[in-house]
Structure 1
């Protein structure tokens, strides 16, 4: 079933005092989808969210919501007229109002406000706490109230600005899944801003990776991980490292791990020097393989173990093996490459994205 376009950002530039923080931004969100703006602090993701909400004017480009222009250079539709809801980092609840009164605040004149409020409180699993006040709730409960309040007026689009950053790790993970389930149950479209990759992947259908005010890639979490378009996306999303190789054909690279064949074709000349992106799950434990590596470090992760491996040449890799077998540092293990998603970058373009680990000499990509 085809989805209709809900939000469109075209040629967007916005910032402060005529200084663009975000430049040439193009982004589209379909009705019912959840998108995420992901990136390090200061990259422009919050500025973009504020522009969508109507809190920041545009220097260039335009924003359309459900086919209506809500912002362009010289024109900004007032935030309260946009049918856009907001969920803030600090919850922003009214301390003197009960849970039910907070949820009903934006629909005070609605003839069905009590029914709507009750339905939403049940949806966020707080129906039994409707008479309590914010100070009597946990952080996770307060954020659920904030979400219910934002959903009450039935916005066309919901914006969530770092909504889980004040919560501890386990509660963040649990609530992020719950929020996705709630939004999907309501059919509510949303844009989330976060710097946390795990959170972005847990909640979103599409994720946009920002760098220095520019959108590097807008794609599904799966494609961002397996098909990064730039070295920065490769470095920011997931865990991995680069090894040097020579392009043999459009879809084949010679490396010290042998010939790697992939499902992507590259147009550079055969013999070009490239950096091959490998993730820990690209290196598979293979006891009968002729390719051996020595274990030089390990981190137990529960269902799996992350091993740091060293090849005979001295190059170090990282690999995730099932934790059923416990390999010890110093042991030799057989490995093979299972990297169907062959992702390579020209050496000159990828060097800046590499991070050398001083303690191991691994040319590794950082994980966030």
Structure 2
């Protein structure tokens, strides 16, 4: 199968046909991706899918069995080429930031800069860019985890890389801080015009930060494209299930419409007639008042509910015995066994049975 590639990346990063095995285990299989200059691409996938191995090959810390890596038109990896990591002009922001504890903040940022009178001003400029002006004399342990990540970003950017790689850089932060720091770092990268690749297993992180998302499943590129395309038009059931939550139901497709326990529903993407697995996003299924004319309108029995603050997720059993999740705004408790009426908004995804690609 030819790997999907995002169009247009003159001057950016182009990876083609990348392959890597460890013993008999194939980690990467014909992986390709294109990162346009001054953009952020997220490589998304579960643990063990090969995304960190791919990042290490691009950085030069791991060798490839096959394939090519080009950056700004220059071949870094090829059949007869392997440029040393220090000569690639690639910066790396690892999970923990990896600051030198024996150096000040300023010493960390200026570590890779040539000595001279301009070094101090460059350090101050980058600290100002990442929102840490005035911290040059402090020690890393005096800073919060989010501030340390921004120092690490300043250090990486100060070396003027052609590309920066971010390896799960927010995973060690608590949930509230993670959201704030990742948005700040994305803003800095865009403001600096930096070409960046973010490796993550967090779907929300990939969808909210990146211009392009590359979904890696089982060592292969399952799908690549804009975030909204991966969420609303996933090419397989595996892609739909990983990029966000889905409710799976059995159905039968005929002429662009599927029949299911939730009624007859229009299909978003073409699917052959016959048995299918239907995939709905939880936000498509909602509570409805009986007799209001919503179509389809079906009843279900409440199994449980979970309150998450902004919304309540209600799990209910349909007449078919299948379970469905419903998101209701705010605090909307329902008693187990209570009968509720459901309606479905919009069209649905449907995939031929046994077509869960990538597994």
TM-score (norm 2): 0.90
2: CA distance between counterparts of 1:47 and 1:313?
Answer: 44
Query: Paired residue for 2:32?
Result: 26
Tell me whether 1:330 sits opposite 2:347 in the alignment: no
**Structure 1, unpaired ranges of 5+:** 354-368
User: Which of 199, 207, 217 is the aligned partner of 1:211?
Assistant: 217
Provide Cα deviations, 1:329-352, integer angstroms capped at 9, x if missing partner: 433222211132x32111122499
* Higher mean C-alpha displacement, 62-71 vs 327-336: 327-336
2: CA distance between counterparts of 1:334 and 1:345?
Answer: 26
- Give the deviation of 1:325 after TM superposition: 5.0
Query: Paired residue for 1:347?
Result: 353
Q: How does 1:134-283 map to 2 (within 5 A)?
A: 134-249=140-255, 251-266=256-271, 268=272, 270=273, 272-283=274-285
Tell me whether 1:315 sits opposite 2:322 in the alignment: yes
Query: Paired residue for 2:121?
Result: 115
2: CA distance between counterparts of 1:15 and 1:138?
Answer: 39
User: Which of 280, 284, 287 is the aligned partner of 2:286?
Assistant: 284
2: CA distance between counterparts of 1:54 and 1:234?
Answer: 32
**Contact 1:36–1:191 at 8 Å: present in 2 too?**
yes
Query: Paired residue for 1:71?
Result: 77
2: CA distance between counterparts of 1:111 and 1:82?
Answer: 26
Q: How many residues align?
A: 347
1: CA distance between counterparts of 2:216 and 2:29?
Answer: 11
* Higher mean C-alpha displacement, 54-63 vs 196-205: 196-205
Tell me whether 1:14 sits opposite 2:20 in the alignment: yes
User: Which of 294, 304, 308 is the aligned partner of 1:297?
Assistant: 304
- Give the deviation of 1:175 after TM superposition: 0.9
**Contact 2:163–2:195 at 8 Å: present in 1 too?**
yes
Query: Paired residue for 1:95?
Result: 101
* Higher mean C-alpha displacement, 15-24 vs 193-202: 15-24
Provide Cα deviations, 1:105-160, integer angstroms capped at 9, x if missing partner: 11134763322211211122211221011122222221111000001122111001
2: CA distance between counterparts of 1:198 and 1:261?
Answer: 27
**Contact 1:284–1:337 at 8 Å: present in 2 too?**
yes
CA-atom RMSD, angstroms? 2.2
TM-score (norm 1): 0.88
2: CA distance between counterparts of 1:162 and 1:324?
Answer: 33
For 2:112, what is the secondary structure of its paired residue?
A: helix
- Give the deviation of 1:207 after TM superposition: 1.8
2: CA distance between counterparts of 1:18 and 1:65?
Answer: 30
For 1:183, what is the secondary structure of its paired residue?
A: helix
CA 4–42 in structure 1, closer or farther in 2 if over 3 Å, else same = closer
Provide Cα deviations, 1:18-49, integer angstroms capped at 9, x if missing partner: 96421101111111211112222221111100
CA 130–190 in structure 1, closer or farther in 2 if over 3 Å, else same = same
For 1:209, what is the secondary structure of its paired residue?
A: strand
